Amino acid sequence: MHDFEYHQGELYCEQVPISRVAKEVGTPCYIYSHSTLIRHFRAYDSAFKNIPHVIAFAMKSNSNLAILSLMAKEGSGVDIVSGGELFRALRSGVPASKIVFAGVGKTADEIREALKADILMFNIESSAELKAIQEVAASVGKKARVALRINPDIDPKTHPYISTGMKKSKFGIAADRAVEEFTLASSMSHIDVAGVHAHIGSQLTEVAPFIAALKKVVTLIETLKAQGINIRYLNIGGGLGITYSDEKPPLPQDLSDALLPLVKDLGLTLVMEPGRVIVGNAGILVTKALYLKEGEAKSFVIVDAAMNDLIRPSLYGAYHEIKPVNEEAGHRAKQQVDIVGPVCESGDFLAKDRLLAAVKPGELMAVMSAGAYGFVMASNYNSRPRVPEVLVKGGDIHVIRERETYEDLVKGETIPAFLK
Ligand SMILES: *Cc1c(COP(=O)(O)O)cnc(C)c1O
């Protein structure tokens, strides 16, 4: 569900015509719907109302300060993966007591910053990292709350790049070595073993892999309890999929209905790290058609957005629905085209072999479901300034990130004196 609908022949975000935003900030631009964000967060939160829980929004999916502030206001925490994300989270008013820190390569500096902020816990990805956290915690005289991330060896049946819970993955600690690692962790002077973590992948469209992973984790928790290791938190990660084209992923309530019977009697606080399911369908990328090009074998629509603005199609072969902003344009004869950007790479496309109503140069198009892993993955490749982000609330337009300038492009660069 989202709030990008046609009214009077034109695509709107809530009560604002997309063309008005385009006029105000130019194209390309990202547009997010406030009401959609709120609805998605609340749907997730209320699905788990019958169990103590913390929602730690996976901010790698969208880390704009305004989006994070909105989440914090709703009572969300965040899942961070770097010192930079910690900085953004604190700047946005996310309470440290709701911040969890994941990622396989935390540096000593990042660990120190997180300890200083007194975050809820670290999600530990390896025994080497466990030792590093023990050392840093000892050096600053603090005890680090941790959850060990278990790799349950479950195939989440998603794209290999976003599958994280299988044996060959770089993430987590192998399930059969878990008890050993937990025992080691609980013997460490500056480690407080608070939880178990498992995140098996992203864009999951079935409940079954979540259940399979959870069953393994619950068995582990029971074993640990029997050994006197008192687990208080169970972190089930994120990963719930969204509809990009015709997927029918479970709703947060379906997930809750399936998972709660397995965990409700364990006396644990549930931690969840949804990202995509909150922001994915709450955002679009708006682009303008520049040229039509009839190639020998293919037809191209060349648009002003490119892989540096939205890399998911190039990186994962991801599908994003593309809609004309002018509804009438959608009724024209359909044509098979590639939608490509101006970047000098053959991999620069937003859609391939797409049957699309004919567009005319100058017309606006909306790349749907672009709120997650969209702007955050943007780069300046080809010296393209990164595009603005806009939050629409009701009838109001809020620019939450300005378009970068050419000066921004060269910020921090210097020409040494010998070259002058
Ligand atoms: C990426 C990630 C998430 C969020 O995944 P979504 O599919 O966006 O919900 C949650 N937890 C961890 C550890 C992650 O790496």
Residues of the chain with pLDDT > 90: what percent? 91
* Residue 395 CB burial class (10 angstroms; 0-12, 13-18, ≥19): exposed
- C-alpha closest to that of 250 among 215, 196, 211, 218: 211
Per-residue pLDDT reduced to its tens digit, 194-248: 999 999 889 999 999 999 999 999 999 999 999 999 899 999 999 999 999 999 9
What is this structure's pTM? 0.96
Q: DSSP H helical segments within 264-293, as ranges?
A: 276-279
Q: Would residue 13 show up in a list of annotated catalytic residues for this protein? A: no
Average pLDDT over residues 355-370: 97
Q: Over 70: is that where the pLDDT of 165 sits?
A: no
Atom of ligand 1 nearest to the CA of 241: 7
Compute the C-alpha angle 416/417/420, nearest 5°: 100
Q: Which domains, from first to last, does the chain contain?
A: 4-32+281-409 (2.40.37.10), 34-279 (3.20.20.10)
In contact, 16 and 392? CB cutoff 8 Å: yes
Average pLDDT over residues 362-386: 98
Round the average pLDDT of the chain to a whole number and report it.
95
- Give the Cα separation of 178 and 189 in Å (integer): 19
By most ligand atoms within 8 Å of CB, the mutation choice from 55, 159, 251, 273 for ligand 1 is: 273
What residue type is assigned to position 336 of the chain?
Q
- C-alpha closest to that of 25 among 388, 415, 324: 388
| d(CA 388, ligand 1 centre) in Å | 24
Tell me if residue 241 falls in helix, strand or coil: coil
* Residue 39 CB burial class (10 angstroms; 0-12, 13-18, ≥19): middle
Q: Quick one: pLDDT band at residue 169, thresholds 50, 70, 90?
A: confident
Per-residue pLDDT reduced to its tens digit, 259-275: 999 999 999 999 999 99
- Give the Cα separation of 375 and 231 in Å (integer): 37
- Give the Cα separation of 217 and 215 in Å (integer): 5
DSSP code of residue 384: P
Instruction: Write down the pLDDT at residue 95.
Output: 98
Q: Over 80: is that where the pLDDT of 1 sits?
A: no
Instruction: Write down the pLDDT at residue 393.
Output: 98
Q: Over 90: is that where the pLDDT of 172 sits?
A: no
**Pocket (CB within 6 angstroms of ligand 1):** 58, 60-61, 79, 102, 199, 202, 237-240, 273-277, 372
Per-residue pLDDT reduced to its tens digit, 395-418: 999 999 999 999 999 999 999 999
Residue nearest to atom 10 of ligand 1 (CA): 238
Residues contacting 133, CB < 8 A, separation 6+ = 106, 111, 122, 124, 144, 146, 190, 191
By most ligand atoms within 8 Å of CB, the mutation choice from 40, 57, 202 for ligand 1 is: 202
Instruction: Write down the pLDDT at residue 14.
Output: 98
Instruction: Write down the pLDDT at residue 124.
Output: 95
